Every structure is written in structure tokens, then in C-alpha cells.
Amino acid sequence: TYASYPVVPWLGVTLLGMGFGFSFLENREQTQIKLGKIAIMFLILFFIIRTFGGSVGNLRGYPRHDGRGDDQFHVEWIIEYFYMSKYPPSISYALFWLSMNFGLIRLFSTKMFDMPDHVGDVRILSFMPHKISKILLIYGRVPLFFYTLHFWIICTCFGIPLVLVNGVDYRVPLPLAIPFWIVLIIVLYPICLRYGKFKQSKPADSWWHLI
């Protein structure tokens, strides 16, 4: 039976993130350094498994040479190499994106970032305008809320109508998808801002902080 969201791999990724969350509470600086080292290790493992792992660690693309699954969409080798399976997640996919996420967390802890303690003056990058950093933080404080909301809006506006019209072929042309995505981000800004204020008004141990 095919399952896009198998419990075992996604649960492992979730527990890994929770574990590092507790580690952050104990020693923030040491955890950031460890994440940088793990990011490099995961990236090396990704290239090893992607290149030599065969079909076991790679459910799509290289080395199966299946591209996008049909002859209409021919992809070059470099695109095929990074064309990985997210649903369900392959080992190569998990290693690559965990390394990217851990690497960014390590990068955010370097001196090029300016993160004062008082929230009103928080800036993500020292060279980034203050207004832009505040806008990005609105989405960053409610990531799961934003993801879930935008996912269902896209499914409702595009996915369901396209499936009804075209059957299983529900792909959207990129020139149409990008403008809709930009408009959606703008529309969701005040909603995320309002929910972020609501979440901050709750106690630190509230379940609302998980969304």
C-alpha cells in the first residue's frame, strides 16, 4: 500500500527536532556548533547515498533515471540528481534537507547576524533592512500555521478543481503558480500577524505554541 506520509521516517525527523530543541535549552552555543558539524556530515552522507546507494536510498530520480516519470519532461543529469522523493521521504531527501536546515541554524548563529534580545528591534541580517526582517519574522513565528493554511488554500483553489477537470494530472504551469504564490503570501500576512500576537499572549507551556 502506498503512503505519502509514512509514520516512521517523519516521526524520526520530528523527534530529532524535538531533541535538539531540548539541547538548545541546555546549551545554545554548543548545540549550534554541533548542528554545523552534523550538517556537514549529513551532506557528505547524502552525496554518498545518492551516488552509490542505488534504489534503496533513492526513491526517485538518480540513479533510477526516471526523471519526472514520463518522456514529456526530460531533465538534465544535475536536475535529475536533486530530483528526490519527499512523499514518501527517501533517505537521500531526509539527509539533504536536514543538512540544509541544520546548516542554516548554524549560519544564523554567526556574527553576520544581529539578534538583540528585545523583540521590537530584532533584525535577521545585519545588512537587511529593518522592515524586511520584521516582515519575515511574522511568518517565522507561526511556521506550522502558515504552512497548513497555505497548503489547504492551494488545494482548494487549484488541487480540487484541477483533479475534477483533468483527473490525476493536477500540475499547474509555473508562470501561473508563482504569481498566485506571491499573492497568497501577501494575503496571509495579516492573518499570520494576528495569530502570532494571539500565540504570544498564551502561556509558554500552551499547546498553541506548537502551531
Residue-level pLDDT at 117: 44
pLDDT at 123 over 50: no
What is the mean predicted confidence (pLDDT) over 33-42?
A: 93
Question: How would DSSP label each residue in the chain?
Answer: ---SS-HHHHHHHHHHHHHHHHHHHH-HHHHHHHHHHHHHHHHHHHHHHHHH-HHHH-SSSTTT--TTSSTTS---HHHHHT---TTTTPHHHHHHHHHHHHHHHHHHTSTT----SSGGG--SSTTS-HHHHHHHHHHHTSHHHHHHHHHHHHIIIIIHHHHHHHTT-----HHHHHHHHHHHHHHHHHHHHHHHHHHHTS-TT-GGGG-
Residue-level pLDDT at 75: 53
**pLDDT band at residue 39, thresholds of 50, 70 and 90?**
very high
Residue-level pLDDT at 38: 95
**pLDDT band at residue 153, thresholds of 50, 70 and 90?**
confident
Q: State the average pLDDT for the chain.
A: 78
Of 46-55, 78-87, 93-102, the range with the lowest mean pLDDT is 78-87
What is the mean predicted confidence (pLDDT) over 72-90?
A: 73
Residue-level pLDDT at 122: 44
Residue-level pLDDT at 7: 80
pTM: 0.69
Cα 92 from Cα 45, distance rounded (Å): 8
